[in-house]
Structure 1
């Protein structure tokens, strides 16, 4: 055998055989999930600042966009907060509800 036990080893493997690697098939990418609209409804109870802070806290939206969504909901009664897949939309609805705000979801297609 062509190995040095104290300085490392030479050869293809510790036992003299070739090292085999097993390949696994790549996972199939997930199918696109159908989009859902997350709609913020007008709120006459909470302050504008609270609504904007909650949007910023719970979503990836920044303050300028959060303020715009809040103003539109106040003026029109409802505003599009964002579009995402159903599970995430349901999570947003639950989170906003826990803060005392009304959010509904609907299919975007």
Structure 2
């Protein structure tokens, strides 16, 4: 008796071959997408002659929560150089801080003061 090889004894559908074990699934690599960070912005306070040091210290303490020493140092710098960076933060917060400075009100210590101080913002980079 002749024994045929096993593979010739098994019939496969036309075009199909012997069964092959499936490959193990490749683990999906997770791509970490980093959000694009906005550049930080400086909030800049500009000097004028319609506000006292006490006003500037009071305003910076109220809006930013700075201590009296830090606020006074900034008041001196704005008086000496004409401007001072009072904060560096993301764009939305910078816009809010500029708005808060410009809407803080006149200095009650000076009759000539009829408006808030002026502030602007610019990218820090």
**TM-score normalised by L of structure 1:** 0.69
Which of 85, 91, 107 aligns to 2:96? It is 91
Instruction: Say what the alpha-carbon RMSD is for the aligned residues.
Output: 1.6
Residue 104 (str. 1) matches residue 120 (str. 2): yes
Residue 34 (str. 1) matches residue 50 (str. 2): no
Per-residue Cα deviation, 1:22-80 (whole angstroms, up to 9, x for no partner): xxxxxx88653320001111121011101110000000321111111111000110011
C-alpha separation between the residues in 2 aligned to 1:64 and 1:92?
20
Residue 51 (str. 1) matches residue 56 (str. 2): yes
Structure of greater Rg? 2
C-alpha separation between the residues in 1 aligned to 2:76 and 2:35?
36
Residue 72 (str. 1) matches residue 77 (str. 2): yes
C-alpha separation between the residues in 2 aligned to 1:51 and 1:96?
10
Structure 2: which 5+ runs fail to align? 1-32, 105-115
Structure 1: which 5+ runs fail to align? 1-27
C-alpha separation between the residues in 2 aligned to 1:64 and 1:29?
39
